[in-house]
Amino acid sequence: MTTSASSPKRTRRKGSLAGQIFVWIAMIIAVCWAAFPFYWAIITSLKPPAVILSTVSLVPFLQFTPTLSNWQSEFTNRLPEVSRALRNSLIISIGATLVATTLGTLAGYGLARFRFRRWKNKDMSMWFLSQRFLPPVVTVIPFFLAMQAIGLNDSLLALILANATFTLPFTVLILRDMFKELPVEMEESAYVDGASHMQAFWHIALPLAAPAIAAAAVITFAFSWNEFLFALVLSYKNATPITVVIAGVEHTQGIQFWFVATRLLIAILPPAILALTAQRFIVRGLTLGAVKG
């Protein structure tokens, strides 16, 4: 009897151990898959051009001798171009984030707290959701012609408006769900005390939704920082961001992968620092309301 009773327990333990091993293997594969582009960029930035163009070398000090010549050339010969592109990307991303977050907060609060008659809340929410599925390439030519008509081509404002337009639906949907999770009784008690809708929004709803607003702002910043299509079409000299500069490292003999790697690592730093700094706000903002008790 003891042997037969312990047999199912041993089977469950073996099954549990096998499941844990499978999960760990899957996690290791996923981490390696996600980290390999960064590893490629790091080792490529340390390779001499002759090594990059001749052989595939993945292990430094064994298959090639690392060198800082690519970084020295980047900071001595191409620093003005890269610094100007980084400044443009920073201005565009911050501007688009401010516009999209401000309008998205107001629109999300309106959809969560008010009921509209002419256009129903559900229809407006579905319209915002449909914008996330709209391929941006469809609107490139109309956006280019509109910016050309008002004289904003190759300007930072044009790229700010473009990025804010395509990140706004994401912000609206996140903050609408966030405001729906907030207890409306707190605002109703403020109305009883004589507060207006704007006062209740500013002093009660907005502080409670701060983590979600921060999460939406960080993600909007990342989307705007990585945007390439509109930057390629709407800028050609003065407003060129870092994504276009990275894609432009090509000459008559081919792509200069060593400069692609160095500029890629430089471009990763600002959003990575922002994400690490605001990590707790991102996690809290995106998971708030996910578990109800």
Q: What pLDDT digit, counting tens, does each position of 80-116 carry?
A: 888 899 999 999 999 999 999 999 999 998 888 888 8
**pLDDT digit string, tens, across residues 37-83:** 888 888 888 888 878 777 677 777 677 788 888 888 888 877 788 88
The pLDDT assigned to 291 comes to: 41
> What pTM did the predictor assign?
0.81
DSSP three-state, residue 288: coil
- Write out the two tokens for 274: 């922002």
DSSP three-state, residue 251: strand
* Alpha-carbon distances of 16 from 19, 20, 22, rounded to whole Å: 5, 6, 10
Domain over 78-287 is classified CATH 1.10.730.10: no
The pLDDT assigned to 196 comes to: 82
**pLDDT digit string, tens, across residues 220-244:** 998 999 999 999 899 888 889 998 8
DSSP per position, 30-70: HHHHHHHHHHHHHHHHTS-HHHHHH----SBTTTB----HH
Beta-bridged to residue 43, according to DSSP, are none
Q: Which residue has the tokens 């915002």?
A: 128
Q: Which stretch of 17-21, 151-155, 170-174, 214-218 has the lowest confidence by average pLDDT?
A: 17-21
- Write out the two tokens for 58: 């993945």
Smallest Cα–Cα separation from 46: which of 72, 24, 26, 67?
67
- CA dihedral angle for residue 178, residue 181, residue 182, residue 183, rounded to 10 degrees: 170
**253: confidence class by pLDDT, cuts 50, 70, 90:** low
